Structure 1
């Protein structure tokens, strides 16, 4: 290992980054060792104290993820930078849902409940806060309409295919085998084609409309965007830094998701003790899992990077639906489990309102704080439906 490589790794693995990384993994190992104890009944104060401790660890690790993601994003430029964070979280989330389905018990609705919760959290809560912050701090914000349109084109197709069609053409809210196969294949093909276009011919559609300072060593066009060949130049010149940051990011994300999964049983018990709806547990877990992306999104909104807000939020949801639904359908076909995807009429109506609101917000001539407030109101309506 050369001196330059060692120096590059040290610049990435700072004492703070190392502390955040070790904290997450140590907490996970401690929980793993303590599983026999946690299986027994805990007092209510002990239960909520343990939950609070886990949340604190997750928040500390989340800031570590955010740091690496932001450095990568500014080094690589969009959409590559945001894809690293988005895919690392979404892929692990898909693996967790798949693991739960393959485990003991009846989990036929976990994919529906999880993806619906993620949809409402991302499209309304996170985007609502981001637009509120951005609208208050900046007078005029203009997203790249071509990029936002591409995201919404997929969501307008994938979300109804996931939540509406199973109730209309399926059996008891689930696709039959002959229906599941074409749905999962076309979903994967569409998502793969989207990624190819996003990272290749249509890359400019997912960059900021206004020129922004480039990362050190990056070349730009006359419009202020990186040239198409600049990504190769950046990788060549900063290979050690990019690889190191990507590895540290993923290794910090994994304990966040694992801790969220391990605390699911504790959270279910806590929700039951306070008499809250079962769906609340899924909502809270989804919020915690996507915490790093949420923090990154709000920071991007604070600095006026409105297209990056779209890349993080809309891109995360496209990836979640595009990967989760095919994965659970495959598991259902292999194991013979029934995968219930059809949503309730109330949630379907709210999903339609959310998509319409997203169009009116991001295709407005000027994004304002009022748009953010409307998204937050929609999320409150979703919470109202959960508690009804």
Structure 2
């Protein structure tokens, strides 16, 4: 019975998907109107989020068994899978805007580097004053993140080989190959040659905490993880349909759609990072947050570009100039924050201020 309760999110996800399939065209947004569409959006959003929490739970149990950094890596890759599924679903649904993938990836970076990092540093700093982490590990994340972010989100706006913020075929090919290779080198360092620099320096982050979840076998948790991922992927296209309809129906800016998708993907992972910071395990929080940002650029961008080639959908990755300024400021502040071996709540407040500026710009630049 306990296993049934623990896997209830996956069952609920399959049931909701089956209900939409059985309803056919009856529940389409253009048929039922704005109000009911927003209600169905809430149902899909909550179902997907519930399944995402189940993914995180199974990943954390695997982290308990495998230890760091492998546990966090599994969590990161699972979340990337969710993110790619949602972005691709939005890209191929209806009249998807060419900037939708860009807005989602930019939202992920802003939410992670400013929102989640800010919350972790603020909450952890208020509870524990100064917190320590492995400086080399954080620097490794940032050393990969900075060039990947500039190549993917800034360079396309500065060059003239393709219109607007699009990538030329040569740029796109370079972006795919460079991102995959650089991320592959980073993974080799994180999991094989330098895994020690991604562990808590005081050995407090041993992966032994699983917060009430029953840890079973590796095959069980792998099956449970994929069992929760499948309904998310199945519901992703429905979510994309109702997100587009809902935001346009209430006159919200297009970038808000990307923010909603990013927030949905990152909420379970973010709560895991915040909990680690509150327990004075800042290294795990750093691994989760910075790992999410690196994997978003290193894996999601190539996946989106490949899908655009296959489907023929036009895609713009280059940010507008105000967003480039905010991205540059975020990267500089992040380098300063993780430039010493200890953090405090002031740094968290600074990152949260940048996050508030990002949210303000979503509506101001619309």
Normalising by structure 2, we get a TM-score of 0.88
SS in 2 for 1:325: helix
Change (3 A) 1:102 1:278: closer
Distance 1:349 1:215, change over 3 A: closer
- Indicate yes or no: 2:67 matched with 1:91: no
Q: Is the 8 A contact 1:84 1:246 kept in 2?
A: no
| Residue deviations 1:13-45 (CA, integer Å, cap 9, x gap) | 723212222122212222332341121433544
Distance 1:106 1:260 in 2: 14
Describe the shift of the 1:335–1:246 C-alpha distance in structure 2 as closer, same or farther (beyond 3 A).
closer
* Cα distance per residue 1:156-201 (max 9 Å; x no partner): 1000101111122232222222232223212211111111111100
Conserved 8 A contact 1:129-1:376: yes
Counterpart in the other structure of 2:22:
33
Where do 1:1-388 residues align within 5 Å? 14-39=3-28, 40-102=30-92, 105=95, 107-169=97-159, 170-172=161-163, 173-212=165-204, 214=206, 241-334=217-310, 337-388=313-364
- CA gap of 1:373–1:253, structure 2 versus 1, over 3 A, is farther
Q: 1:66 to 1:325 in 2, by over 3 A?
A: closer
Given that residues 92 and 254 in structure 1 are in contact (C-alpha distance below 8 angstroms), is that contact kept between their aligned partners in structure 2? no
Residue pair 1:66, 1:295 contacting (<8 A) in 2 also: no
Superposed CA deviations along residues 331-359 of structure 1, whole A, max 9, x for unmatched, are 44455554321110110000011111212
The offset of 1:92, in angstroms, is: 3.6
C-alpha contact (below 8 Å) 2:89/2:236 kept by paired residues: no
**How many residues in Structure 1 have an aligned counterpart in Structure 2?**
355
The answer for the alignment partner of 1:4 in structure 2 is: none
Q: CA deviation at 1:306?
A: 0.8
* 1:115 CA displacement: 0.9
Tell me by how many angstroms 1:202 deviates: 0.8
The answer (yes or no) to whether the contact 1:140–1:367 under 8 Å persists in 2 is: yes
Q: Give the drift of 1:372.
A: 1.6
Stretch deviating more after TM superposition (143-152 or 178-187) = 178-187
Partners of 1:54 and 1:341 lie apart in 2 by 27
Aligned CA distance change for structure 1 residues 35 and 385 (closer, same or farther; 3 Å): farther
Give the C-alpha shift of residue 66 in structure 1.
Answer: 3.1
1:204, distance to aligned residue in structure 2 (A): 0.6
Alpha-carbon spacing, 1:34–1:287, altered in 2? closer, same or farther (3 Å): farther
Gap runs ≥5 in structure 2: 209-214
Deviation, 1:87, is 0.4
CA RMSD in angstroms comes to: 2.4
The structural deviation recorded for 1:147 is 0.9
User: Separation in 1 of the partners of 2:150 and 2:206?
Assistant: 39
- Whole-angstrom CA distance in 1 between matches of 2:120 and 2:87: 27
- Aligned 8 A contact 1:143 1:362 in 2: no
Is the contact between residue 66 and residue 292 of structure 1 (CA under 8 Å) also seen in structure 2? Answer: yes
* Higher alpha-carbon deviation: 263-272 or 99-108: 99-108
Cα distance between partner residues in 2 of 1:49 and 1:331: 30
State the 4+ residue runs in structure 1 displaced beyond 6 angstroms. none
